[in-house]
Structure 1
Amino acid sequence: MMSKLLVVCLGNYCRSPFAQLALARRGGPRMVVRSAGLIGKWQDQPAHSAMINAARRLDYDLTAHRAQQISLSMLDWADTVLAMDAFVLTTLRAVCGPENENKLCLYLGDRDVPDPMGQDDAAFNECAVLIEAGTVLHTGGRFT
């Protein structure tokens, strides 16, 4: 059975684009992963250059990513919606309606993935490592 995951952060500019790649790699062909942001500030823009570099250090190519704002059709499409932090989760709960409530959870289960925006390259690298490690929570712990 195919799983459909939607990963959401604030702008679809740093955290969720990388999580999309990491989950897709770890989940393999049985998992379809998309990402989006709550706001459209970076709509159609590439991922943050520091996140592209952090992804490259972990052997991922994030250069093809273009940011998109979340839509109700994306929420309907997903089996599971993974919020990068509590603020995103709270906002999703407010906009998605009770029919989608059971789909929503934090990416790391019980804690936030810190937003590296405005910080140095080390913060982006740490964020990427944390996101990659978190894939185990959503893929049954298997690498494919």
Structure 2
Amino acid sequence: MSEPRHVLVVCMGNYCRSPLAALLISATSDGAIEAKSAGLRDWHVGEAAHPLMVTTAADLGYDLTRHRGAELTPELIEWADALVAVDDETARALAERAPGRPVHVLAGGVADPYKQPPQAFIDAAHQIERAAREYSTSGLADRP
């Protein structure tokens, strides 16, 4: 097997959506993709993922407890073979920080469940899970 592709998933705070998306892209790729996540802002650097997302991930059979928030850096952008944003707003901001690099929007955009009821986390997690499986098998991660 060749070296895994590097995929960077970005959201606003690296607290709800991007941690789960990175975990699931890696988990569903059979080792073909190494994914990391980061936030555009430093709001949750060093923190665990949102407790409701950790619980929701566990309900789906995934362990998100090891996640610690990170802020987007030029080094992370350079590390990545592919850049993935969780929504259009994040995609625009990521494209500004990575000029000339294509940015893929996961699932056409995943609504932010932050400060929403638990069902919003469940809905986002299911959307992310479907999108991660599709992303991992679609060849999008193989694009430069």
Q: Would the TM-score normalized by the shorter structure come out above 0.5?
A: yes
CA offsets per residue over residues 14-34 of structure 1, 9 Å max, x none?
000001111111012221110
Question: Distance between the aligned counterparts of 2:19 and 2:42, measured in 1?
Answer: 14
Superposition TM-score, scaled by structure 1 size = 0.90
Instruction: Map residues 31-110 of structure 1 onto 2, 5 A cutoff.
Output: 31-98=33-100, 101-102=101-102, 104-108=103-107
Give, as a single letter, the amino acid of the residue that structure 2 aligns with 1:107: L
Contact 2:54 2:63 in 1 (8 A): yes
Gap regions ≥5 residues in structure 1:
none
Equivalent position SS for 2:104: strand
Write the distance in 1 (CA, Å) between the matches of 2:112 and 2:54. Answer: 15
What is the CA distance between 1:118 and its match in structure 2? 0.8
Which amino acid is the alignment partner of residue 122 of structure 1?
A: Q
What residue in structure 2 maps to residue 19 of structure 1? 21
Q: For 1:6, give the aligned amino acid.
A: L
Give the deviation of 1:140 after TM superposition: 1.4
Counterpart Cα distance in 2 of 1:105 and 1:80: 8
Find out whether 1:117 has 2:144 as its counterpart: no
Structure 1 CA distance for aligned equivalents of residues 30 and 18 of structure 2: 18
The alignment covers a number of residue pairs equal to 137
Q: Distance in 2 between matches of 1:22 and 1:134?
A: 9
- 1:7 is aligned with what amino acid? V
Deviations 1:15-74 (A, max 9, x none): 000011111110122211100000011110000001011101101111111000010111
Letter in 2 for 1:22: L
Show structure 1 runs of 4+ deviating over 2 A.
none
- In structure 2, C-alpha distance between the alignment counterparts of 1:136 and 1:54, rounded to whole Å: 17
Shift of 1:119: 0.4
Letter in structure 2 aligned against 1:129: H
Aligned partner of 1:106: which letter? V
Tell me which amino acid in the other structure corresponds to 1:90.
R
Distance in 2 between the 1:135 and 1:66 partners?
20
